[in-house]
């Protein structure tokens, strides 16, 4: 068999994609594609299980603190950042929101995002649906952007699930009212609730680098499980590297380094330096790995 004859099946399979690429989809069609992707992602049992685990974390933390305080023991130490918010939960249930976000951000939230991002392209390839998605007038670039937008939407949804669960549990188990900031000043409950929402959005934005990394890994393989495992493995490795003192020179460039800087939103006035560094770093990772994912996916052979 000649090379030309051997190439005929691939060319025939690729023809529908080339024909589809010649059609320009309308903006409404693009929004429909995004809505369909998001709906499909949220209906999967894996996604529901991930959101369930995230919602359970504030419940476990709240019940544990309640039991400890009922026994007359201390709920936590002093300080003001990250998990040290736990010391303030018994005084104001709103602090459970900050504690839950700090507890889930180092692993649970990025793991959930890594699973969704890792499965975005590789899962479609493994199921054999990727080529059919490209038969529609989507194009590889548009489909990749839609997958990334879906992952970013999941970042927001997952973060809000944690924050909402923590707020409900905090209101049920502990008193609510004025808050004392890390700086020692008092703010109203309404302002504290506004800062909690802003913190949740900052936490969601802190995950865009992980989302881009997972999407890039997803373009490298046709196995959804391999892509998810690789993304989670890289996440764990990065977290370990960020804790080794000898690597302090490179740690400011690790995407997880400034994750807990959201605690600075509970200062008065707010310290913006690390918050801005975090957002800049996430944007850099999104640009680098997003470009790498695009370069890989546009050259990917989906007919194999």
**104 pLDDT more than 80:** yes
**132 pLDDT more than 80:** no
At residue 65, the 3 state secondary structure works out as: helix
Whole-structure pTM value: 0.84
Nearest to 85 by CA among 273, 93, 238: 93
The CA distance from 232 to 238, in Å, is 10
**7 pLDDT more than 60:** no
Q: For 169-223, how does the pLDDT look when each residue is reduced to its tens digit (9 = 90+)?
A: 999 999 998 888 888 889 999 999 999 999 999 999 999 999 999 999 999 988 8
Return phi, psi of residue 187, to 5°.
-130, 155
Tell me what the mean pLDDT of segment 246-261 comes to: 92
10 Å Cβ neighbour count for 54? 22
In degrees to the nearest 10, what's the CA dihedral of 198, 175, 166, 181? 30
Chain centroid to CA 14 = 34
The CA distance from 124 to 255, in Å, is 27
**84 pLDDT more than 90:** no
Q: For 278-302, how does the pLDDT look when each residue is reduced to its tens digit (9 = 90+)?
A: 999 999 999 999 999 999 988 876 6
Count of CA atoms in the C-beta half-sphere (13 A) of 122? 25
Q: For 45-82, how does the pLDDT look when each residue is reduced to its tens digit (9 = 90+)?
A: 999 999 999 999 999 999 998 888 776 554 444 434 44
Distances (CA, A) of 17 to 24, 33, 129, 138, 215: 13, 17, 13, 9, 22
Structure confidence at residue 43 (pLDDT): 92
Token pair, residue 249, equals 């020179």
Domain ranges for the chain: 13-298
Structure confidence at residue 73 (pLDDT): 52
Structure confidence at residue 78 (pLDDT): 41
């Amino acid at each position: 068999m000649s090379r030309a004859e051997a190439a005929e099946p691939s060319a025939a399979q690729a023809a529908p994609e080339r024909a589809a690429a010649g059609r320009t989809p309308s903006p409404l069609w693009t929004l429909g594609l995004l809505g369909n992707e998001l709906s499909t992602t949220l209906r999967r049992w894996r996604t529901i299980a991930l959101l369930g685990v995230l919602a359970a974390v504030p419940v476990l933390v709240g019940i544990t603190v309640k039991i400890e305080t009922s026994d007359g023991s201390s709920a936590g130490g002093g300080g003001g950042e990250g998990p040290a918010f736990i010391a303030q939960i018994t005084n104001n249930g709103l602090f459970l929101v900050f504690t839950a976000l700090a507890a889930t951000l180092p692993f649970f939230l990025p793991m959930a995002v890594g699973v969704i991002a890792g499965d975005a392209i590789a899962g479609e390839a493994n199921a054999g649906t990727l080529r059919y998605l490209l038969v529609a007038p989507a194009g590889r670039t548009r489909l990749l952007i839609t997958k990334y937008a879906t992952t970013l939407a999941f970042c927001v949804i997952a973060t809000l699930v944690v924050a909402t669960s923590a707020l409900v549990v905090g209101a049920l188990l502990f008193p609510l009212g004025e808050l004392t900031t890390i700086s020692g000043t008092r703010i109203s409950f309404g302002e504290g609730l506004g800062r909690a929402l802003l913190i949740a959005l900052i936490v969601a934005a802190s995950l865009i680098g992980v989302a881009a990394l997972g999407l890039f890994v997803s373009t490298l393989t046709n196995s959804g499980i391999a892509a998810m495992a690789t993304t989670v493995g890289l996440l764990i490795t990065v977290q370990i590297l960020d804790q080794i003192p000898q690597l302090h020179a490179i740690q400011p460039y690790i995407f997880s380094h400034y994750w807990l800087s959201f605690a600075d939103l509970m200062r008065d006035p707010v310290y913006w330096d690390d918050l801005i560094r975090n957002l800049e770093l996430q944007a850099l990772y999104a640009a680098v790995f997003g470009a790498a994912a695009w370069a890989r996916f546009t050259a990917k052979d989906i007919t194999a």
